[in-house]
Chain A
Amino acid sequence: MKIQRHLPGGQSAEPDHAPVKIGQELLHPPVSHHPKGANPLKPSESPTIEPVGAPEEVHPDVALVERARGGDVHAFETLVKQYDRQVFRIAQHITQNREDAQDVVQDAFLKAYEKLDQFQGNSKFYTWLVRIAVNEALMRLRKRRTGKMVSIDEDVQTEEGSVPRDLAEWRPNPEQEYGQSELADILRKTINGLPPGFRVVFVLRDVEGLSTEETANALGLSVPAVKSRLLRARLQLRERLSRYFRKKNNEDGVQ
């Protein structure tokens, strides 16, 4: 007997033919900053252009930012607890140094706190925070590599990222053949070999799950620049990981 995979009412999340999707995020409905619904305040009574009304469309962070601006440190504490791990990961990926990453976490949140008034609310708080953190992290990286220019704007010329040369197939689930810490070493070593400008795009987009637009916004790059870096970053990582994961010559498909 055939098992019916679809729930009644067409609730099945994925059509059967859909390819495996990686990095797919829940599709957030676009948040309108200009709600068409009735504004509870009459225009004459709202002299500022602060976003008001339509509370159901406001990201919960916005309310926390509002309260933090008003001096509520607990509201800011909530934001810190919500995002400190992500900021640490991003900082660690950029600086490749644990102490620097810790400093970045502190400095990024303190800077965000100081500059809360400048937060416009037309981007997510998280994206805005990531932008601050990325800048802090790049500053630290530059300090450690004095004389060496470090920028996410530099266009890194590389042969890799064109049509791949190393086209060996991988073993099935090759990552499971390594111990956890050995695998983590391989993954760190591999991603650390990317130029910082590629690394950060891959981390934000594929690891942290930001959209292309959010990544562009957080890095101050154009959308096409993010896209071209992402492709090259993905292909370079793929090529480098092939060393560890490819089928061995005697397994099959000897060419």
Chain B
Amino acid sequence: MTCSEFLAELDDLIDNSVTPTLRADLELHLRECEHCVITLNTTRKTIEIYRQHELYELPTALRERLQAAILAKCKRGC
């Protein structure tokens, strides 16, 4: 397996949706390719960091204002 072939399966590997046979091939590649190990680990970490950090919070006051505005218009029949 080449690095490009590994990369083509990277998302499925991260999302845990590869067949056992393919997983074995991918793991074999990982054992001999440090580059792909780093790519896999840091890509996983990238996703994890973005999942764990709320970048755009909607403040409560603004949220309530928006909700009130939406519902007022709905009640008027938009």
Interface residues on chain B, size class: 35 or more
Q: Once bound together, how far apart are the Cα atoms of A21 and B48, in whole Å?
A: 9
Q: Is B28 an interface residue (CB 8 A)?
A: no
Q: Is B61 an interface residue (CB 8 A)?
A: no
Given contacts A80-B71, A206-B51, contact A234 B46 (CB under 8 A): yes
Q: Is B66 an interface residue (CB 8 A)?
A: yes
The binding surface of chain A is classed by DSSP as helix
Q: Is the CB of B69 within 8 A of A170?
A: no
Q: Is the CB of A84 within 8 A of B63?
A: yes
Which residues of the other chain, B, contact A92 by a CB distance below 8 angstroms? 55-56
Q: Is the CB of A73 within 8 A of B56?
A: no
Given contacts A22-B48, A23-B47, A163-B3, contact A231 B10 (CB under 8 A): yes
Q: Once bound together, how far apart are the Cα atoms of A70 and B65, in whole Å?
A: 25
Given contacts A21-B16, A85-B63, A183-B53, contact A231 B11 (CB under 8 A): yes
Q: Is the CB of B16 within 8 A of A227?
A: no
Q: Is the CB of B71 within 8 A of A77?
A: yes
* Chain B positions 42 through 78: 1 when the CB is less than 8 Å from some CB of chain A, otherwise 0: 1111111111011111100011001101110111001
Which residues of the other chain, B, contact A105 by a CB distance below 8 angstroms? 58, 66, 70
Which residues of the other chain, A, contact B43 by a CB distance below 8 angstroms? 234-235, 238
Residue of B nearest to A237 (CB): B46
Q: Is the CB of A188 within 8 A of B78?
A: no
Smallest distance from the beta carbon of B21 to chain A beta carbons, Å? 16
Q: Is A56 an interface residue (CB 8 A)?
A: no
Q: Is the CB of A184 within 8 A of B53?
A: yes
Count A-B contacts at CB 8 Å.
127
Q: Is B31 an interface residue (CB 8 A)?
A: no
Q: Is A62 an interface residue (CB 8 A)?
A: no
Residue of A nearest to B62 (CB): A102
Which residues of the other chain, B, contact A234 by a CB distance below 8 angstroms? 10-11, 14, 43, 46-47
Which residues of the other chain, B, contact A207 by a CB distance below 8 angstroms? 50-51
Q: Is the CB of A23 within 8 A of B14?
A: yes
22 pairs of residues in contact across A and B, judged by CB atoms under 8 Å: A21-B16, A23-B15, A73-B71, A77-B71, A80-B71, A84-B58, A93-B55, A102-B62, A106-B66, A106-B69, A113-B74, A164-B39, A167-B38, A169-B41, A187-B50, A187-B53, A202-B50, A207-B51, A231-B7, A238-B42, A238-B46, A245-B42
Query: Which residues from chain A sit less than 8 Å from chain B, CB to CB?
Result: 18-24, 73, 76-77, 80-81, 84-85, 88-89, 92-93, 101-102, 105-106, 109-110, 113-114, 162-164, 167-170, 175, 183-184, 187-188, 191, 202, 206-207, 227, 230-231, 234-235, 237-238, 241-242, 245
Query: Which residues from chain B sit less than 8 Å from chain A, CB to CB?
Result: 3-4, 7, 10-11, 14-16, 35, 38-39, 41-51, 53-58, 62-63, 66-67, 69-71, 73-75, 78
Q: Given A22-B48, A93-B56, A164-B39, list of 7 further CB < 8 A pairs?
A: A19-B16, A105-B66, A184-B53, A230-B11, A234-B47, A235-B7, A237-B46
Closest 7 pairs between A and B when the two form their complex, measured CB to CB: A92-B56, A238-B46, A88-B58, A22-B47, A238-B43, A109-B70, A21-B16
